[in-house]
């Protein structure tokens, strides 16, 4: 076990990616709309918790481009090729258009990277990656060049206030632009990055509290023993209180997230639809994030499979489009099951398939990596033999 790893964050990511897949299986309806704050916003918050500026700015850009844009382009090109073949068939079966755009039109969509208004139908889950890349650039500029001018201690009250003001300004700018420009659709989903900045900054603000919640405070980082792993009576008592506190936090904040989501109504992160009261969208997302982290602090590394999924959410994001389509089109009766996606039967019927989709994505990713590695070795070997 990696004692320095925060397994609670892995568990929270696993829950969120599961809900993403579940929403894609349902395709529509109230469950799809109301669980949105428990998906993408949670990822942004968890990214803020994990965020650590280091190295030079060009090195940061290069690292994030390799981590986000490289897989985006790779998965996008493969998705376009697959969807060009099966898009019309899938569109007819699902009663929506598909596959009718030219290959070059789809490539242009890939470069522009905004999935609003039925664009990027070949794999619209991929919109998140360039959007997240833009958000990280904006956040890095703020952290590296603006915040140090305001305060030297990045965990001080002044820093917290500054982050909140910065969040208000960025999201406010997005709302203003949307008010002036009908159907705002900027390249690389810049407007979505501006909308999401409050989640990322809240993650940074909550980081010290989350570290204490998960037993990964400064003393743990320095190698000192934590009371959560202690064997003495007082340590066990502290552990019991921590588990009780985490359980209450999980239930309470989950209920708050659901309640606020129901009041706010239908939302969509991809299309920048934030419900009746956009402020509730933010509070709902924060509540779900705290709830999932609390649950993760209870589970920790006791269920390695869930933690593994949380560490490997990228392959699920990249490829879930296709096993989801396969289940929707090939499983007898599935389309009839989700014909009314607001019914409890539809929700229950998608719970197990969502797990199957995640497993399929992880297996495919492993096979793909092995094939690419073999291909790379063959090319190197062939090049060496020609010299």
Cβ–Cβ < 8 Å for 116, 270: yes
- Kindly state the tokens that stand for 151: 């305060």
Q: What is the pLDDT of residue 97?
A: 53
Query: What is the rounded average pLDDT of the residues 194-222?
Result: 79
C-alpha 29, offset from chain centre: 21
**Other beta carbons less than 10 A from residue 159's beta carbon:** 18
Helix axes of 304-311 and 7-26: crossing angle, nearest 10 degrees = 80
Q: What is the pLDDT of residue 233?
A: 56
Domain assignment of residue 126, yes or no: yes
Task: Kindly indicate the confidence band of residue 385, based on its pLDDT and cuts at 50, 70 and 90.
Answer: low
Q: What is the pLDDT of residue 255?
A: 94
- Kindly state the tokens that stand for 179: 């008010």
pLDDT digits (tens, 9 = 90+) for 186-195: 999 999 999 9
Domain assignment of residue 188, yes or no: yes
Domain assignment of residue 224, yes or no: no
Cβ–Cβ < 8 Å for 332, 326: no
Q: What is the pLDDT of residue 245?
A: 87
Better-predicted residue by pLDDT, 233 or 357: 357
Domain assignment of residue 85, yes or no: yes
Cβ–Cβ < 8 Å for 358, 18: yes
Query: What is the rounded average pLDDT of the residues 299-318?
Result: 92
Q: CA angle, corner 225, sides to 221 and 228, nearest 5?
A: 100
Domain assignment of residue 212, yes or no: no
Q: What is the pLDDT of residue 92?
A: 56
Q: Which of 348, 355, 374, 368 is nearest to 26 (CA)?
A: 348
Task: Kindly indicate the confidence band of residue 230, based on its pLDDT and cuts at 50, 70 and 90.
Answer: very low
Predicted TM-score (pTM) of this structure? 0.89
Region of poorest pLDDT, from 12-21, 131-140, 214-223 = 214-223
Range among 1-10, 88-97, 186-195, 326-335 with highest mean pLDDT value: 186-195
Better-predicted residue by pLDDT, 385 or 42: 42
Residue 127 CA to residue 148 CA, distance in Å, equals: 32
Question: What φ, ψ does residue 312 adopt, rounded to 5°?
Answer: -130, 50
Q: What is the pLDDT of residue 266?
A: 86
pLDDT digits (tens, 9 = 90+) for 262-276: 899 888 888 888 989
Cβ–Cβ < 8 Å for 163, 207: no
Task: Kindly indicate the confidence band of residue 117, based on its pLDDT and cuts at 50, 70 and 90.
Answer: confident
Domain assignment of residue 215, yes or no: no
Query: What is the rounded average pLDDT of the residues 150-154?
Result: 89
The structural domain count of the chain equals: 1
Question: What φ, ψ does residue 339 adopt, rounded to 5°?
Answer: -60, -35
Domain assignment of residue 381, yes or no: yes
Write out the residue range of the structural domain in which residue 64 sits: 7-207+234-386
Cβ–Cβ < 8 Å for 71, 372: no
Domain assignment of residue 217, yes or no: no
Q: Which of 376, 308, 374, 320 is nearest to 27 (CA)?
A: 320
Question: Is the predicted pLDDT of residue 154 greater than 90, yes or no?
Answer: no
C-alpha 341, offset from chain centre: 23
**Other beta carbons less than 10 A from residue 146's beta carbon:** 11
Task: Kindly indicate the confidence band of residue 83, based on its pLDDT and cuts at 50, 70 and 90.
Answer: confident
Encode 10-49: b = buried (16+ Cβ within 10 Å), e = exposed: bbbbbbbbbbbbbbbbbbebbbbbbbbbbbbbbbbbbbbb
pLDDT digits (tens, 9 = 90+) for 59-79: 999 999 999 999 999 999 999
> In terms of residues, how long is the chain?
387
- Which stretches of the chain are DSSP H helices? 7-26, 29-34, 40-50, 57-64, 70-93, 103-112, 128-141, 147-150, 157-180, 190-213, 218-221, 233-264, 278-299, 304-311, 313-319, 321-330, 334-337, 344-386
């Amino acid at each position: 076990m990696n004692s320095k790893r925060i397994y609670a964050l892995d568990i929270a990511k696993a829950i969120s990616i599961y809900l993403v897949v579940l929403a894609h299986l349902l395709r529509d309806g109230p469950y799809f709309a109301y669980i949105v704050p428990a998906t993408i916003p949670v990822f942004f918050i968890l990214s803020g918790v994990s965020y650590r500026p280091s190295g030079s700015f060009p090195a940061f850009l290069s690292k994030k481009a390799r981590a986000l844009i490289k897989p985006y382009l790779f998965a996008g090109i493969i998705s376009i090729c697959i969807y060009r073949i099966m898009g019309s068939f899938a569109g007819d079966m699902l009663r929506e258009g598909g596959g009718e755009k030219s290959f070059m039109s789809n490539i242009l969509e890939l470069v522009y990277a905004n999935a609003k208004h039925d664009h990027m139908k070949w794999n619209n889950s991929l919109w998140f990656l360039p959007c997240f890349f833009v958000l990280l650039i904006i956040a890095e500029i703020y952290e590296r060049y603006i915040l140090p001018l305001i305060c030297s201690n990045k965990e001080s009250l002044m820093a917290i206030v500054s982050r909140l003001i910065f969040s208000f300004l960025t999201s406010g700018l997005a709302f203003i632009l949307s008010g002036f420009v009908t159907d705002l659709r900027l390249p690389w989903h810049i407007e979505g990055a501006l909308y999401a900045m409050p989640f990322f900054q809240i993650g940074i603000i909550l980081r010290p509290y989350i570290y204490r919640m998960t037993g990964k405070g400064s003393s743990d980082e320095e190698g000192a023993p934590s009371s959560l792993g202690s064997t003495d009576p007082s340590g066990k008592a502290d552990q019991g209180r921590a588990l009780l506190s985490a359980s209450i936090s999980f239930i309470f904040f989950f209920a708050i997230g659901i309640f606020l989501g129901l009041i706010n109504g239908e939302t969509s992160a991809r299309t920048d639809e934030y419900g009746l009261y956009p402020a509730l969208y933010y509070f709902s997302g924060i509540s779900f994030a705290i709830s999932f982290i609390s649950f993760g602090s209870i589970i920790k590394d006791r269920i390695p499979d869930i933690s593994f999924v949380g560490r490997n959410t990228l392959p699920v994001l990249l490829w879930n489009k296709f096993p989801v389509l396969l289940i929707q089109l090939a499983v007898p009766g599935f389309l009839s099951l989700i014909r009314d996606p607001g019914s409890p039967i539809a929700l229950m019927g998608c719970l197990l398939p969502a797990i199957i989709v995640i497993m399929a994505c992880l297996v495919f990713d492993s096979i793909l990596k092995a094939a690419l590695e073999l291909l790379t070795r063959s090319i190197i070997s062939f090049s060496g033999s020609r010299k």
